[in-house]
Every structure is written in structure tokens, then in C-alpha cells.
Amino acid sequence: MTAPSGSLRGASPRGRVWAHVGQPFTETAYDVVVVGAGRMGAFAARELRRLAPALRLLLVEEGGLPNEEGATLLAPGVWTARDAPPGREAEAAWTRAQLAATLGDVQFRAAPLAELGAGADPHPDARPTGEALADWPEALALLDPVDLPWARVDAGAATFRPGAVALNAAQEAVRLGADLLLNTRACPGEGGRMTLERLSVTNTHEVVVHERRAVQAAQVLLAAGAAGPALAEHALGVHTAHGRAYRQAPRLERPSGADSPTLRAGGLTLRPQAGGWTLVPAIWHRDPQGYVPAGGLLTGVLTGLRRETLEDLVALMDAVPALAGGGLGLGRSLSDVPGAWLALPGGRPDAPPLWQRLDDTHTLLLGGPLADVLGLSVAHDLAATLAGTEGRPWAPAD
Amino acid sequence: MTAPSGSLRGASPRGRVWAHVGQPFTETAYDVVVVGAGRMGAFAARELRRLAPALRLLLVEEGGLPNEEGATLLAPGVWTARDAPPGREAEAAWTRAQLAATLGDVQFRAAPLAELGAGADPHPDARPTGEALADWPEALALLDPVDLPWARVDAGAATFRPGAVALNAAQEAVRLGADLLLNTRACPGEGGRMTLERLSVTNTHEVVVHERRAVQAAQVLLAAGAAGPALAEHALGVHTAHGRAYRQAPRLERPSGADSPTLRAGGLTLRPQAGGWTLVPAIWHRDPQGYVPAGGLLTGVLTGLRRETLEDLVALMDAVPALAGGGLGLGRSLSDVPGAWLALPGGRPDAPPLWQRLDDTHTLLLGGPLADVLGLSVAHDLAATLAGTEGRPWAPAD
């Protein structure tokens, strides 16, 4: 820990980090408090430190860095121009450049993405699957090219580790002067009067509130992922219509190589990772309020995958025979399969990240399903707005 | 109760009815057992008696007639040509004719349906809302014609009571010779070996199995609504990808008249009923396996409406100010608002009713969201198929 920082404009020393309750926290006021150190919150904090170094900034995270239960750690980490909504290609390209070069080692790797499909009227860019994947027999071996005869390859796609993005962005924010308070639950209140609950874990693995601290924030960014809208509603009484969905990412233990492409078929993404494949199922719609994720039964057999994901995988077993071949990590209960709640902006599975003013003090920042492609640019846009910065780096100057 | 029926072709006496466990049930074999006496099963039974009177038929219902927890009783009972999928208009018209004339009193009433909307490019048939609804001030009073400037009226629409359809169709099936076994849970098994669990209610309102009977069926129709796919999977091991959704139909206590039109706006149907309005929310998507319906919180207030329906109603409060006016039956817990599980064929909210062979013995029959418009024709089609009848009454003869 360092001594308390001053707030000299443009010359901020390194910020302080409180990792556990043994370190006394006595601060009482900040210009900006960012709630949540996933990639959205951490990157917004980093950009705020760069654009508005005069603002005293606190980044609060309920877990560690990154939160093991958050959506960031489970995000696919697949950048492809295909996922950029029309008109936002420049923002997506800027996000790619940030991932490639400015955030330290995030295991960024240029890796083609092949979208596989059937149908009599393929996209003009599509090529026969066997030809398009000829360089990657390990990828071709997963598929049935008769069921998926066409492949459309995005040669400019890339993979990266979203968890490393959050970690590196938070660490850089601290280097640039942000304070970081870990293992702390933030309870926003009206007018920026916030209660911070510092958490510790008992011998019996129970999470308890060790102490409560009051902090006054001029501006609060709620970047708590899928929990953000509920926080806005319960703490501030602001109703939003955002949704969430529980997504699981099972493993497929079939060999992948260091240069294997990412594959997509029927909404399912197969991302080469750690010598095998991580499956990222499509999100078709939000989950209703009150839904508790549970392992699904399939013709009487209990698994660790939710039923809807099981059905998607069963539907793809003809086209992707590897799914039926025994290497699929179905698990036996929910805890066997990595999963996380993902925010769905506007309740829609295809909506881009967004920020939204909730009141004079609070702003909600949501990543969601397209955060791999547009998350950093939207977080930057919010930081630049708060900093009063004109122009955006992806927009052509007048 | 009558004496056992013979099976004289074309001259079947009235079937028998077992309403409670005090009436001994000793039958051991049927040609056809229909599981579920909602409108789909009851109408299929009635049509089978008409088309194939030689087949000994048993209709089994877990509850009463109709089942108070089933989807039939809660269905909107709104027929409109607008809901007929392209190419199925003749079937829909045949269903309307059945409702209007052949099923006894189902409170069939020709009642226009007005679809309300906004947008700069209204449908060519649309007229200004104030003009289109001029004859029905009680309907116009619910809306803001500035937010909903256009109305598209289907003058051929109608309303009816789906519960009465199920009741009358089942009673007519019995008149035509079908046996009817109420308060009995059917557990299908391979090869048509079925266990019938006759249920009774104890002094403490607990439902218990009073006795089990084995019955052999040559053909089994599973017409158990939203429970049908689970029955197919658990009892027969046949995986299907059908879904279900929990739909609630809250009341809006604002006056309606005997000739009020049905209204639709933003997916919400407002059906005039019993001097007020019944609200039928849109179904946007299936609910996940494991979802337990619960009253939703809205900015901290507990209601009897699920959150998703609350959000839909909140989103419509500007366009339909009556929703915000205090007459809306929000309730305080789930049991305050009528609701039921609805089957979603193929897991889709807009799929028409269907039947599907599960194996040599079992056929699944699903109504779902479009059962008001196509339910009876699909049930007829299944009955005609089992009866070996060529041609369909809605299809032009060659």
C-alpha cells in the first residue's frame, strides 16, 4: 500500500489497493465511483484516469480481479467484424486495436473465424467447407461438411482473454491513480451516498460483512454486469427493462492447435482454447425473473448443462458429430460446467453494449453478448462523456 | 352410469363417465386412449367418434371438465383471420365454423378485432383510431389515440369460451360413445401399456392415488397441453424440442359492453369479458426448464404478475393509459392472477398447433398460442388420420 495520493492534475501517483479487510479504508468522498471491475468497469476506470486525471476515482469490486462469478471471465473472447452492428464498424475496429496493443498481454491472437452453414443460396463470400478449412484438419474433423457445406471465413477475426482485459485495465487504472477496493459490495443510494460493505470469508466459507463504510460520490457508474439493472432498481428505485440470461460454456475435448480457427454453426461458437474447444451457445432470449439455473434432464439423464443448451447441442449433433462423440463436458450438476449471468441490454439477446443515465448521479454501464466487439468503445464513450472530452477516437475528425 | 357399451359400428350407445373413484373402473383395453380433455383432446375424441365409431375410445382427464389448471380455460378465446399462418386460412375458417355452429353454446360472438399501432407507414387497411373505434367509446377510452393513431379492424373476428369448447366437445364425444374417465392421471408406457392412477382428495386437500388400473391401448393421443412433451420424454423416453410458457391473464376493471371489440396493441390483447376486460399478454419466448412462476417485483413492490408481463404492461402505459389507472388486477401473489402453462410447439411462441407421431403407438397433440384459430382443425386432422379418412373438410375436393 502506498501513502494517500494527492490529486495533482495530470501527475497522479499510483492509486491505492485494498485487497482485504485487514487494510483500513478511511476515504469518505470521491469524484467518481465505478461499481464493478469486470472489463466494462475496469476499462471505463482506466479511460477516466487517462482523460480526466483530476477526478478522484474509486473502483469497487465485490470479488477479486476479475470476479470469478462475473460474465467477463466466461465471455468467449472472440472479436469478429461480423458481430459489429451496421454503422458501428469503426468502433469495433477501435476495440480490436485496444485489445491488440494497449492493454498488455491479453493473449490476443489473430485467428480466423469460419461461419458454417447450409442452404441453396450461400453468401457470395462462402466457399466449400472442405476447401476453406483445408489448412485446419483438426477443425474440419469436428464437422460434417455434407450438413455444413459452406464456410464463410473472417480472416480479420481474433481471440483474446476477457478476464485478462479486466485485470490489465484495472491494474493500469491503478497505475494511473485510481483507487481499487476489492471484496467489497457497493450499495448505491440517492444523491451518491453510497454504503460500502467490506466482505470477508469465515472458517466455514461463509461470506460476511466485516464492516460498512459510507462514501459520497459525485458520479457513480454501475458496471455490475447482469446485476446492474437490479441494483439500479432496488437501491435507486429506477425501473429498467434490461434482462439477463444464464450462459454456460462447456468444454469439448477434441484437439485444437495454436492456429486453429474459431468456428460457428447454428448459433454455436466453438473457440479453440487450451488444446481443446470451448463451446459458447447462442443466447436466444432472456431468462425470466426468478429463474434459478439448474442442470437439465434429457430423456431422464441429469446433466450439468441447462436444458435449453442441451437441446441446442442435440440439434447440432448431425452437423457437428464431435458433439456426440464423448468429448463433451456435460457434467452431472450445474457446478460442473462454467456458467455466468450475462446482461441483455433492453432484454434483447442481440443488443450492443450501452450506457444509460439513471439520475443526476448514477449511470448504468452494460456489456452483454456483444461486449467482445463493442464493450471497450462503449466504456470509452462513457468515460469521455464524463470527462467532457469532445470527439471519439474512432470517429473521423471534422 | 350406464351399462357397458357394445361396439356396433355406426350405432354406438352413449359412453360411460367415471367422475370419481367410487365408481368402479374395470375396463382393460381400448382402441384409442386420449390423454387430456382440454379442447384439443376433447375435440379429437369427438371427431374420432364421428369418423371411426368402431374404435373403442377412452378420454382420460387428470382434473375435471375442463381442467381448472389447464391452458384451455385460460385461453383468450379470440378468433381472427389475422392469426392464421399463410396458407392455412381455410383451416382457420373451418375452425371458426365449428365454433360458431357445431359445438353447442360456447358463447360464440362475432366481435371485431382492432389492431392498434403507430408508425409513419400504416397498413393500407388502417384507419384513424378515433374514427375506427367511434362506435365503441368504452374501447376508445382505454387508449391514447396520439400514441396509437392507426387501427386495423378485422370485422370477421369473434370471441368464444375455450372452456366451453372443451366441455361441449367432451360431452358430445360421450354422447357418441366415448368413455370418459375424470380425475385420473394417465402414465403411458411402451407398446400402449398404460397405467391409470385414479385420484381422490383427502380431508386435508391432498391429492392421492386411490387406485391404479392397467389399460392396453392400441393408440394413445397425448393431448396433455404443456405437460405433453414432458410426458413423452419421461414415460416414453422420446426427446422433443417443444417448449412451454407460463401466461397470466389479469383483469382490467374498466367498462366493456356486449358489443365491444377486442383490442390489440404492442402484442397485448384486451378482450371484452364479463363487463370488463381480460388482458392477454404476448408470449415472446419459452420459459426455461426449471422456471417456477412467481409474482414479480417492480421497483420493490411485490405483485401477482410475473415480471415480464409487468414490464410489458409498463411499456404500454403511455399508449394504453387505462393500464395505469388503478383498474388493473396486479394482485399481491401469483395465486391472485389467473395463469396457466401453455405449450409452445417447437419451442416457438408463434408456431401453430401440431400433432407428431412419437412411436408406433403414441401421438403428441399440441395446441399452444394459436389454438384459438387452428386448434380444432389440427385435432380433426389427427382424428381423420387415425380413422383413415381421406380428404379434409377445409380442402377443396379434387
Tens digits of residue pLDDT in B322-373: 999 889 999 999 999 999 999 999 999 999 999 999 999 999 999 999 999 9
Residue A104 lies inside a defined structural domain of this protein: no
B184 and B125 in one domain? no
B257 and B333 in one domain? yes
Residue B175 lies inside a defined structural domain of this protein: yes
Asked whether the predicted pLDDT for residue A1 surpasses 50, the reply is no
Supply the pLDDT for residue B301: 82
Residue B284 lies inside a defined structural domain of this protein: yes
Half-sphere exposure of A325 (CA within 13 A, CB side): 16
| Contact criterion met (CB < 8 Å) for A293 and B290 | yes
- Measured in angstroms, the CA of A241 and the nearest CA of chain B are apart by 7
A65 and A27 in one domain? yes
Domain span holding position A289: 113-154+250-337
- Measured in angstroms, the CA of B284 and the nearest CA of chain A are apart by 9
- Measured in angstroms, the CA of A294 and the nearest CA of chain B are apart by 7
Confirm or reject contact between B233 and chain A (CB < 8 A). yes
Residue A92 amino acid letter: A
Nearest to B307 among A285, A289, A298 (CB): A289
| Contact criterion met (CB < 8 Å) for B237 and A307 | no
With CA atoms as reference, the chain B residue closest to A296 would be B289
Q: How many domains does chain A have?
A: 2
Mean pLDDT across the stretch A130-159? 96
Torsion, Cα B58 B60 B65 B68, to 10 degrees, reads -160
| Contact criterion met (CB < 8 Å) for B291 and A286 | no
Residue A26 lies inside a defined structural domain of this protein: yes
- Measured in angstroms, the CA of A290 and the nearest CA of chain B are apart by 7
Nearest to A288 among B233, B306, B314 (CB): B306
| Contact criterion met (CB < 8 Å) for B300 and A347 | no
Residue B81 lies inside a defined structural domain of this protein: no
Q: Which residues of B touch A290 (CB under 8 A)?
A: 291-294, 296, 306-307
Confirm or reject contact between A288 and chain B (CB < 8 A). yes
With CA atoms as reference, the chain B residue closest to A313 would be B241
Q: Which residues of B touch A297 (CB under 8 A)?
A: 233, 289
With CA atoms as reference, the chain B residue closest to A244 would be B308
Q: What is the CATH number for B191?
A: 3.50.50.60
Asked whether the predicted pLDDT for residue A281 surpasses 90, the reply is yes
Confirm or reject contact between A10 and chain B (CB < 8 A). no
Q: Distance between CA B69 and CA B107 in Å, rounded? A: 21
Q: What is the CATH number for A269?
A: 3.30.9.10
With CA atoms as reference, the chain A residue closest to B348 would be A284
Beta-carbon contacts of A21 under 8 Å, excluding residues fewer than 6 positions away, are A183, A198, A199, A200, A210, A211
With CA atoms as reference, the chain A residue closest to B238 would be A299
Residue B50 lies inside a defined structural domain of this protein: yes
Nearest to A237 among B238, B299, B314 (CB): B299
Asked whether the predicted pLDDT for residue A84 surpasses 60, the reply is yes
Spatial strand order of the sheet with B251-252 comes to B127-128, B150-154, B113-117, B262-265, B268-273, B276-280, B251-252
Mean pLDDT across the stretch A217-238? 95
Spatial strand order of the sheet with A276-280 comes to A127-128, A150-154, A113-117, A262-265, A268-273, A276-280, A251-252
* DSSP-derived pairing of the beta strands A193-201 and A57-60: unpaired
Asked whether the predicted pLDDT for residue A296 surpasses 90, the reply is no
Confirm or reject contact between B349 and chain A (CB < 8 A). no
With CA atoms as reference, the chain A residue closest to B284 would be A285
| Contact criterion met (CB < 8 Å) for A306 and B291 | no
Q: Which tens digits make up the pLDDT trace of A240-263?
A: 999 999 999 999 999 999 999 999
Mean pLDDT across the stretch B272-295? 96
With CA atoms as reference, the chain A residue closest to B239 would be A299
Confirm or reject contact between A230 and chain B (CB < 8 A). no
pLDDT level of residue B2 (50, 70, 90 thresholds): very low
Phi, psi of B365 (to 5 degrees): -125, 120
| Contact criterion met (CB < 8 Å) for B299 and A238 | yes
Mean pLDDT across the stretch A341-353? 96
B255 and B239 in one domain? no
Residue A180 cell numbers, joined: 481499487
Confirm or reject contact between A324 and chain B (CB < 8 A). no
Confirm or reject contact between B285 and chain A (CB < 8 A). yes
Q: Helix crossing, B89-97 with B371-387: angle to 10°?
A: 90
Asked whether the predicted pLDDT for residue A144 surpasses 70, the reply is yes
Supply the pLDDT for residue B120: 82
| Contact criterion met (CB < 8 Å) for B241 and A306 | no
Residue A65 cell numbers, joined: 480481479
With CA atoms as reference, the chain A residue closest to B291 would be A291
| Contact criterion met (CB < 8 Å) for A307 and B314 | no
Q: Which residues of A touch B308 (CB under 8 A)?
A: 286, 288-289
DSSP letters for B326-383: T-B---SSGGGS-EEEEEEGGG-TTPPPEEEE-SSSEEEEE--TTHHHHHHHHHHHHH
B363 and B322 in one domain? no
B67 and B169 in one domain? yes
Supply the pLDDT for residue B122: 85
Q: Which tens digits make up the pLDDT trace of B3-37?
A: 444 444 445 689 999 999 999 999 999 999 999 99
Q: Which residues of B touch A237 (CB under 8 A)?
A: 299-300
Q: Which tens digits make up the pLDDT trace of B221-262?
A: 999 999 999 999 999 999 999 999 999 999 999 999 999 999
B353 and B238 in one domain? yes
Confirm or reject contact between B284 and chain A (CB < 8 A). yes
For all residues of chain B together, what is the average pLDDT?
A: 94
Residue B82 lies inside a defined structural domain of this protein: no
Q: A30 and A215 in contact (C-beta within 8 Å)?
A: yes
With CA atoms as reference, the chain B residue closest to A298 would be B239
Residue B96 lies inside a defined structural domain of this protein: no
Q: Which tens digits make up the pLDDT trace of A31-70?
A: 999 999 999 999 999 999 999 999 999 999 999 998 888 9
Q: Which residues of A touch B237 (CB under 8 A)?
A: 299-300
Supply the pLDDT for residue A9: 46
Beta-carbon contacts of B389 under 8 Å, excluding residues fewer than 6 positions away, are B51, B52
B205 and B329 in one domain? no
| Contact criterion met (CB < 8 Å) for A234 and B294 | no
B255 and B330 in one domain? yes
pLDDT level of residue B154 (50, 70, 90 thresholds): very high
Q: Distance between CA A333 and CA A310 in Å, rounded? A: 13
B136 and B35 in one domain? no
Mean pLDDT across the stretch B376-391? 97
Mean pLDDT across the stretch A265-272? 96
Q: Distance between CA A200 and CA A185 in Å, rounded? A: 11
Residue (of B269, B312, B351) closest to B75 by Cα position: B269
Bond prior to A112 in cis (omega within 30° of 0): no
With CA atoms as reference, the chain A residue closest to B246 would be A288
Nearest to A307 among B288, B306, B314 (CB): B288
Residue (of A43, A42, A34) closest to A380 by Cα position: A43
Supply the pLDDT for residue A11: 53
Length of chain A, please?
398
Q: Which residues of B touch A286 (CB under 8 A)?
A: 285, 308
B221 and B326 in one domain? no
pTM comes to: 0.91
What is the complex's ipTM, to 2 decimals? 0.88
| Contact criterion met (CB < 8 Å) for A239 and B315 | no
| Contact criterion met (CB < 8 Å) for B289 and A297 | yes
B254 and B145 in one domain? yes
With CA atoms as reference, the chain A residue closest to B231 would be A299
| Contact criterion met (CB < 8 Å) for B237 and A286 | no
| Contact criterion met (CB < 8 Å) for B347 and A311 | yes
| Contact criterion met (CB < 8 Å) for B293 and A290 | yes
**Could you give the residue ranges of the DSSP H alpha helices within chain B?**
39-51, 71-74, 89-97, 129-132, 137-140, 162-175, 228-236, 307-315, 371-387
Supply the pLDDT for residue A396: 81
Q: Distance between CA B293 and CA B248 in Å, rounded? A: 10
Q: Which tens digits make up the pLDDT trace of A22-41?
A: 999 999 999 999 999 999 99
